[in-house]
Amino acid sequence: MKRIDWNSLTEIERDVALARPAQSRADSLRHGVEQIIATVRSKGDTALRELSAHYDRCVLTSIEVSDAEFAAAEAKLSPELKDAIREAAERIEVFHRAAAPQPVGVNTAVGVRVERMLRPIHRVGLYVPAGSAPLPSTALMLGVPARIAGCRDVVLCSPARADGTCDEAVLFTARTVGVHRVFKLGGAQAIAAMAYGTESVPRCDKLFGPGNAWVTEAKLQVSADPDGAAIDMPAGPSEVLVIADADANAVFVAADLLSQAEHGPDSQVILVSPSSALIDTVAAEVDRQCATLPRGAIAEQALSQSRLIQVDSLAQAVEVSNRYAPEHLILQVNAARELVESIESAGSIFVGAWTPESVGDYCSGSNHVLPTYGYARSYSGVSVASYQKQITVQELDPNGLRAIGPCTATLAAAEQLEAHRRAVTLRLAALGAQV
């Protein structure tokens, strides 16, 4: 990990120090995804089978997971894993149900009623990756809020293995959270199928879930097409920033950094601390722990893009964090709760030494589908609200129009929109009101 003295850098050098690993949106990637989308749109299920054979090295006799496959998957899982999945789902539901938006209705003037009503998005598509490791936790994070929101149709795509089956834990999780239609599809072709529909895969209104560069590019392309589908958020590789003081446990800090580094070679982890001694100890501990990790080689690649940043104070550490806007922010400092109010941009915050980022990935109740690559400055993580539309309603009685009609007419006249003004003044005249 590269060590940096923050206060020795110019502003330009600080931007460079906080730069993410370059996301690949090369012309070849864009063109490749465009071709896949076009092929799926023109050839439907035939294209999905051909692309699965080419990219996933599997022959799909059926694209959709059958009831028998769901049953076989459940039978293969240990009772301990099934119980853990159910437990996590319950905790995620408790938090997401409490945090869900509520209808609103207020009188903004006598005779003027304004309301906000909530309606679920009709059909949503969930993408659960299964590249170097399957992610049943993502099925939890996407499926639970969709169920709470009341989405009538929920479909899920996850890549098939070489034998043409999906990961058993992903299938069990899908059924646990109420998703009954799962398709054995991965990559850009899965995104295209859910965005535009095929003979087997229904067209979806909005797509959710993380993925590799091809999946991310496909989501961006279909969301830019009026005939495509909306998406949850832009995203990039996983990342964590840890703020730690001199009293932090270096073993814990190193473990938290490595828990993100093992996601993939393009992940990024950053430690920000005013303690030079703590940084030295963490650097040594990262090396020691990484050497024993099964995915140590992947973590090492991510660490080459990562940073150890020394600052003058915790206040300055917060400034660095807000500038970076991390997906995950861990506060391993004394009186960690006192720093929370100073945090302006982060996907999710983990407060204190006993709150590893891993609990948020699985079962604390918060959502782990979060904005990355600096998008935490303007985006939030997936929630029940992500699956809903908020529709405003207004109703005026005659007294209400008398009360606010003149204000409307004056503003319409200022904007030189005469038809807008007359829509009010003609009604006021009908009421015998002075215009």
Q: Could you give the count of Cα atoms lying within 13 Å of 174 in the half-sphere of its Cβ? A: 30
In eight-state DSSP terms, residue 203 is: P
Q: First vs last Cα of the chain: how many Å apart?
A: 72
Consult the annotation and say whether 397 binds a ligand: no
| Options 328, 341, 368, 418, the catalytic residue | 328
Task: Note whether 249 and 350 are within 8 A (CB).
Answer: no
Instruction: Return the CA Rg of the chain.
Output: 25
State yes or no: is 50 an active-site residue: no
Task: Note whether 273 and 245 are within 8 A (CB).
Answer: yes
SS3 annotation, 33-93: HHHHHHHHHHHCHHHHHHHHHHHCCCCCCCCECCHHHHHHHHHHCCHHHHHHHHHHHHHHH
Amino acid symbol at 12: I
Helix axes 187-196, 213-223, angle to 10 degrees: 20
Report the distance separating Cα 402 and Cα 428, nearest Å. 7
Consult the annotation and say whether 415 binds a ligand: yes
Consult the annotation and say whether 368 binds a ligand: no
Consult the annotation and say whether 67 binds a ligand: no
The neighbour count for residue 433, using CB atoms within 10 Å, is 14
CB-based burial, 352-365: b 16+ in 10 Å, e otherwise: ebebbbeebbbbbb
Residue 142 phi/psi, 5° resolution? -90, -35
State yes or no: is 96 an active-site residue: no
Report the distance separating Cα 306 and Cα 151, nearest Å. 40
Q: How many helices (H) and strands (E) does the chain have?
A: 17, 14
| Options 327, 338, 344, 418, the catalytic residue | 327
Report the distance separating Cα 198 and Cα 351, nearest Å. 45
Task: Note whether 306 and 238 are within 8 A (CB).
Answer: no
Task: Note whether 270 and 306 are within 8 A (CB).
Answer: yes
Consult the annotation and say whether 373 binds a ligand: no
Report the distance separating Cα 349 and Cα 327, nearest Å. 9
Please give the annotated binding residues for NAD(+), written as ranges.
127, 189, 212
Q: List active site positions.
A: 327-328
Q: Which residue numbers belong to the known binding site for Zn(2+)? A: 260, 263, 361, 420
Q: Which residues are annotated as a binding site for substrate?
A: 238, 260, 263, 328, 361, 415, 420
